[in-house]
Homo-oligomer: A and B are copies of this chain.
Amino acid sequence: MSAMTPVKRQARAERTRAALLTAAREVFEERGFLDAKISEICERAGVAYGSFYTHFADKDAVFAELIDQMLNGLLTVMRAEPLNGDGPAARIARANRAYLRAYRDNARLMAVFEQVATFSPAMRDTYLRAWGVFYDRQERAIREWQQAGLVPDDVDPRTAAVALATMIGRTAYTWYVLGRPHDDGDVEQLTRLYCRAIGM
């Protein structure tokens, strides 16, 4: 008869859900998607096996939520970068640094994201959408610079944006997921390649 108030019940559920998300991230990061077991997620969350399904439809659903969380975080970081200031080169440098830092901080989940995108159509869509956002930002910037006469007209803004975003994005993967050694000079070089590529 000592039924909990709805609020309390919700609070409890929320805690369980949060514990599962945290645990899931750990497990996915350690094992990859394929070898991540729901049972292990529950164990780490200190939650009964079946409770997982009270909060998530299935394995894909938790994963999708984790990825959404992460991508929102990335987006927030990217948006926090001032779009203008001390000139285009500095802005490119800042954006690249911000991206690489954010990627590094999420590298292990990123690795799993890339993995799942290779076999799950749903995750591939998410993947393409995320890149789309990234492309768009860079395209807009190049277009601006072109209008300001800083970038030559023979540069196609969309193609350049896609190619250079790809270069930066995949370099992050190569560094932080595949573990290729690199240093601060490489970041600088990357920015220089970027600038020169679009004729700056």
Binding site for B on A (CB under 8 A): 32, 34-35, 111, 114-115, 118-119, 124, 128, 154-156, 159-160, 162-164, 166-167, 169-171, 174, 178, 180, 185-186, 189-190, 192-194, 196-199
Contacts and interface: CB of A to CB of B under 8 A. Distances in A.
Contact residues of A: prevailing secondary structure? helix
Contacts of A155: 189, 192-193
Contacts of A186: 156, 159
Given A163-B189, A170-B167, A199-B196, A118 B111 contact: yes
Contact of A197 (B162, B178, B193): B193
Contacts of A171: 162-163, 166
B178 A128 contact: yes
A45 B115 CA distance: 30
A154 B193 CA distance: 11
Given A128-B178, A167-B170, A170-B170, A189 B119 contact: no
Given A163-B190, A164-B167, A166-B174, 7 more contacts: A32-B119, A155-B189, A159-B189, A162-B171, A164-B193, A166-B166, A197-B197
Given A118-B115, A196-B198, A163 B167 contact: yes
Given A164-B167, A170-B166, A190 B159 contact: yes
Residue in A115, A156, A164, A166 with the greatest tally of chain B CB atoms within 10 Å: A166
A192 B162 CA distance: 14
A115 B32 CA distance: 12
Contacts of A159: 185-186, 189-190
Nearest to A34: B119
Contacts of A193: 155, 160, 163-164, 197-198
